[in-house]
């Protein structure tokens, strides 16, 4: 029997096998019409066909057929894809771009010698992100380093929000609804979000309780695996899925509610055992309803569509309806609210130059709205926009949509 690879680590050749399994039909769905080009953030800033969805699909098709040799120069075009799936949302031919790029990345990661930065991020994923205890310890160490002013030396350290006490689940793993519960929902605590943005979870849980939900925090739940899949480690993602499904299968719940768009999209795509039961927070709240808000606010809000909410989950209306339902809130739309901000998981660390070019276009758009608050639905967008606005000296606040909605209660 072949030895098993360590947890979260792809067995040798796994990426190539994942790519080989990618169906030719998926690739052939692209009819090269080019309608996705203007929606693709990397094409928008470079104008290069090689940095477009069509160009990348062409490249991966040739690799799969063996008609183009695999070389490091070409790999760059796959690396520069944000995986934002904006192309998928606008493609009239229904190209499953998310599935294609994940398989393409698994192949790339299997074949190339990674740069030191990519190797380090892979180690961080396997050794930290998949292990809640180690991640929590790393969060505490980073918090201490922030207090000593040590993190500002590194770009990635400057990107981080000021860390507070991490989110803590209730002792008995349930936050009950006030009064008689209408629903019992499971809540995805996730990997980095409880450390980076605990206040988003606190607000999300409070809203769920207000909506009449008992909120269950499944003990033993791990990272959903989204960051692994997006970075070419499908084997690592599969192992986390198996571990999580054992936990979910042991409980009963009406929905698994997720307040991070990237995790929600991954759970919907990659966990067939949860089919129909994964709900983004805004999707669920729009479905079950919130009680009428008590306060009238005086707030101008602009909403940044998270790529994995707007394009991967096709959820655009619900967050806007919820924001508009708060008295005294004016929703000031950007010109291009559904174009990526350049965060894209680890992308801003791995491809900082392209990430920053995309971010600058986004910041112009955000600032032009004159809003008081930028509301987001994903921690990566929050961190990217906060860092960008801070660098421009803007006082605009960035917050999770749960925090914006909770202001009214
Ligand atoms: S991905 Fe879709 S929109 Fe883009 S070129 Fe192919 S078929 Fe056209
Ligand atoms: S996922 Fe985003 S960056 Fe990648 S090709 Fe599609 S639109 Fe462009």
Domain ranges of the chain: 14-111, 299-406
Tokens of 116: 């030191």
CA distance 226 to 223: 8
CA distance 86 to 63: 23
Tell me the three state secondary structure of residue 345: coil
- Ligand 2 centre and the CA of 47: distance in Å? 13
- Ligand 1 centre and the CA of 95: distance in Å? 7
Looking at CATH, the fold of the domain delimited by 299-406 is given as Rossmann fold (3.40.50)
Judge whether 344 and 227 are in contact, CB under 8 Å.
Answer: no
Q: What is the pLDDT of residue 259?
A: 98
- Ligand 1 centre and the CA of 191: distance in Å? 34
Sheet order of strands, 255-258 included: 174-175, 213-216, 183-187, 255-258, 278-280
- The residue whose CB lies within 8 Å of the most ligand 2 atoms, and thus the one to mutate among 38, 41, 50, 96, is 41
CA distance 341 to 387: 11
Judge whether 244 and 222 are in contact, CB under 8 Å.
Answer: yes
- The residue whose CB lies within 8 Å of the most ligand 1 atoms, and thus the one to mutate among 51, 52, 53, is 53
Nearest of 340, 343, 332, 336 to residue 365 by alpha carbon: 336
Rounded (5°) CA angle 163-169-172: 160
Q: Kindly report the CATH number that applies to the domain delimited by 14-111.
A: 1.10.1060.10
Nearest of 390, 345, 396 to residue 375 by alpha carbon: 396
- Ligand 1 centre and the CA of 239: distance in Å? 32
- Scan for tokens 């203007």, then name that residue: 38
- The residue whose CB lies within 8 Å of the most ligand 2 atoms, and thus the one to mutate among 30, 39, 81, is 81
95 C-beta closer than 6 A to ligand 2: no
Tell me the three state secondary structure of residue 290: coil
Number of helices (H) and strands (E) in the chain: give both, helices first: 22, 9
Q: What is the pLDDT of residue 147?
A: 86
Q: 187 forms bridges with which residues in the sheet?
A: 257
Q: 88 forms bridges with which residues in the sheet?
A: none
Ligand nearest the Cα atom of residue 341: 2
Q: Are strands 183-187 and 255-258 parallel, antiparallel or unpaired?
A: parallel
Nearest of 187, 193, 199, 188 to residue 136 by alpha carbon: 193
- 247's CB contacts (< 8 A; 6+ apart) are 218, 219, 220, 221
Q: Are strands 329-331 and 397-400 parallel, antiparallel or unpaired?
A: unpaired
Nearest atom (ligand 1) to Cα of 93: 7
CA distance 302 to 375: 6
Other beta carbons less than 10 A from residue 144's beta carbon: 12
- Ligand 1 centre and the CA of 101: distance in Å? 14
Q: What is the mean pLDDT of each run of 10 residues along the chain (409 residues)?
A: 39 64 84 96 96 96 88 91 94 94 87 85 86 89 86 76 90 94 97 95 98 96 92 89 97 97 96 97 98 91 97 96 96 96 91 96 97 97 96 96 96
93 C-beta closer than 6 A to ligand 1: yes
CA distance 109 to 307: 23
Element (H, E) at 329: strand 329-331
What radius of gyration, in Å, describes the C-alpha atoms of the chain? Answer: 21
Q: What is the pLDDT of residue 16?
A: 67
Nearest of 308, 307, 304 to residue 388 by alpha carbon: 304
């Amino acid at each position: 029997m072949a030895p098993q690879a360590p947890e979260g680590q792809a067995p040798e050749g796994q990426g190539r096998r994942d790519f080989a399994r990618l169906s030719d039909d998926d690739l052939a769905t692209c009819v090269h019409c080019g309608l996705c080009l203007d929606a693709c953030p990397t094409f928008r800033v470079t104008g290069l066909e090689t940095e477009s969805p069509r160009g990348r699909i062409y490249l991966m098709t040739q690799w799969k057929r063996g008609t183009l040799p695999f070389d490091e120069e070409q790999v760059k075009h796959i690396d520069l894809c944000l995986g934002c799936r904006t192309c998928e949302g606008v493609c009239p031919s229904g190209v499953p771009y998310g599935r294609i790029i994940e398989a393409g990345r698994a192949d790339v990661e299997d074949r190339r010698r990674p740069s030191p930065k990519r190797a380090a991020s892979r180690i961080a994923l396997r050794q930290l992100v998949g292990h809640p205890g180690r991640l929590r310890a790393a969060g505490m160490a980073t918090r201490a380093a922030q207090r000593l002013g040590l993190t500002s030396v590194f770009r990635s350290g400057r990107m981080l929000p000021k860390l507070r006490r991490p989110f803590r689940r209730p002792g008995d793993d349930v936050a009950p609804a006030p009064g008689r519960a209408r629903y019992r929902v499971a809540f995805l605590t996730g990997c980095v979000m409880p450390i980076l943005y605990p206040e988003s979870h606190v607000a999300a849980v409070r809203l769920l309780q207000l909506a009449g939900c008992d909120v269950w925090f499944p003990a033993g739940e791990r990272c959903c695996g989204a960051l692994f899949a997006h970075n070419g480690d499908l084997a690592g993602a599969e192992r986390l899925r198996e571990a999580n499904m054992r936990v979910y299968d042991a409980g009963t719940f009406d929905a698994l509610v997720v307040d991070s768009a990237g995790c929600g999209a991954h759970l919907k795509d990659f966990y067939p055992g949860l089919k129909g039961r994964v709900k983004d927070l805004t999707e669920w709240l729009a479905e079950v309803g919130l009680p009428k808000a008590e306060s009238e606010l005086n707030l101008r809000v602009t909403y940044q569509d998270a790529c994995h909410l707007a394009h991967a989950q096709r959820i655009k209306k619900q967050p806007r309806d919820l924001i508009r339902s708060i008295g005294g809130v004016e929703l000031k739309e950007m010109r291009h609210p559904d174009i990526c901000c350049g965060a894209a998981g680890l992308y801003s660390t791995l491809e900082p130059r392209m990430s920053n070019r995309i971010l600058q276009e986004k910041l112009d758009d955000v600032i032009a709205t004159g809003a008081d608050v930028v509301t987001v639905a994903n921690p990566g967008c929050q961190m990217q926009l906060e860092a960008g606005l801070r660098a421009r000296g803007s006082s605009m606040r960035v917050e999770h949509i749960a925090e914006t909605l909770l202001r009214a209660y």
